[in-house]
Amino acid sequence: MKIKMPAQAAKVIQTLEQHGFEAYIVGGCVRDSILGRTPGDWDITTSASPQEVKEIFDHTVDTGIEHGTVTVLMNHEPYEVTTYRVDGKYEDHRRPNEVHFTKSLKEDLLRRDFTINAMAYNRERGLVDAFGGQKDLEHGVIRCVGAARERFTEDALRILRAIRFSAQLGFAVEETTYEAIKDIAPNLVHVSRERVQVELTKLLTSPLPGCMRLVYETGISPWVSKAFHRIPEVSGDVCFEIPPSIPARKSLRWAAFMRKCTPKEAAEVLKGLKLDNDTIYRTKLLVQWIGTSVCGEPAADALEPAEALAERFKSELRGQLLAKKAQIRRVMSQMEPELFDDLLTLKMCLSEDASDDRESQWLCQVRDLTEEIRSNRDCISLKTLAVSGHDIMGAGVKPGREVGNTLTRLLDMVLEEPQRNTKEYLLAHLGQSAEK
């Protein structure tokens, strides 16, 4: 077997070997290369000590030197180089108290989590697979290296990693490994919420987000948080029905998972998992709007293409079209354009997955009308309103809260009829209102 690696990674290995040391690419990059996937990182393991690595290369960073890791910069490209090691005790169920460097590659591979991640490769020596990782790749199996209970007891985060890899690769979790997950699940309480969140997010943004079900079936969920554990109680099994067609972005996938929750419940889950504020904000708004029709329920005659609808001359149908566009503008006014597009995308993916042809057709029409609104540059926010607060005060409105209230009333009028968005018209309307 031959694995093609980046020239710079090969150079790091070659340089280490020229100085009398062993060196291999290791872990995920070997796994992904065998599967025909493009590795994100190229990690290197070596018999050289961290100090020896630093002496050999001109540009290095002490990334995790206490655990044997030095980042080598080759033409500004970073490569993590880690010394063969044996881990000490894991008293905190997360990281070893100490590590001992070794000259044995096999001893180093023995400390790793899963067989598919415990393979190393060198162009001259070929593939080193001491624990059957290649076979497990062929059969689509997630299996711990050695005793599963020991691996999970050492680092409780591995129980989530097993399920995450299952979702990312479409693999089954081997029976002994699965049972050990259920037994060791309570140890997840020792892992930081940030690290738990990273694994859950990777799971949700994987090709098989429905594997989130395994987090609950294995008994992991209570140890994530009470709010997280309650999601199926609120949503039922629908929370696990996450169409892979939904773009793999954090806010979209989390919103799909929690679409039956209230915005408050969704925010509680995400805050507890220490997600970033932007994702929390976007997810909360998507959850708020996901169960709401963007512009009313689709009428039987509204399922015609927007173009056909627009060409019809019956006054009642033209009125329907204008009313729908006004409703869409109102929704658009309450969120950023990107977020509105995300909402529409999310609703369309869910309707297609549910085989709801009527809803799908209606949402396609909403999308067309949205494009028309944008093409016409209709006013949908105070930023594009033809008058400003200064203009309002110049028309006689006293400074203070009334200025903002007046601008909001004028925007509401323009959302209904965008042709009114001229300075002359709005100030004239303001004057007429004052006279009354």
pLDDT mean over 138-158: 95
Torsion angle, CA of 392/393/399/404, rounded to 10 degrees?
Answer: 10
Question: What domain range is 401 assigned to?
Answer: 382-435
Does pLDDT of 432 surpass 80? no
CA dist., res. 256 & res. 251, Å (int): 9
Q: Place 73 in a pLDDT band, splitting at 50, 70 and 90.
A: very high
pLDDT at site 365? 86
Q: In terms of Cα–Cα distance, which of 179, 160, 164, 188 is closest to 93? A: 188
- Tell me if 283 is assigned to some domain: no
Q: Are residues 77 and 128 in the same domain?
A: yes
CA dist., res. 77 & res. 72, Å (int): 8
Q: Are residues 354 and 395 in the same domain?
A: no
pLDDT at site 300? 44
Q: Are residues 23 and 145 in the same domain?
A: no
Q: Are residues 127 and 155 in the same domain?
A: no
- Tell me if 287 is assigned to some domain: no
CB 351 within 8 A of CB 359: yes
CA dist., res. 384 & res. 318, Å (int): 26
Q: Are residues 333 and 426 in the same domain?
A: no
CB 136 within 8 A of CB 115: yes
Q: Are residues 147 and 236 in the same domain?
A: yes
CA dist., res. 293 & res. 324, Å (int): 11
pLDDT at site 357? 79
- Tell me if 291 is assigned to some domain: no
CB 238 within 8 A of CB 205: no
Output 259-263 pairs: Cβ under 8 A, ≥24 positions apart: 259/235, 259/287, 259/290, 259/291, 259/350, 260/234, 260/235, 260/236, 260/291, 261/231, 261/234, 261/235, 261/287, 262/287, 263/287, 263/288
Average pLDDT, the chain: 89
Q: Which bin fits 111, alpha (ψ -120 to 50), beta or left (φ > 0)? A: alpha
Q: Are residues 145 and 71 in the same domain?
A: no
pLDDT at site 297? 52
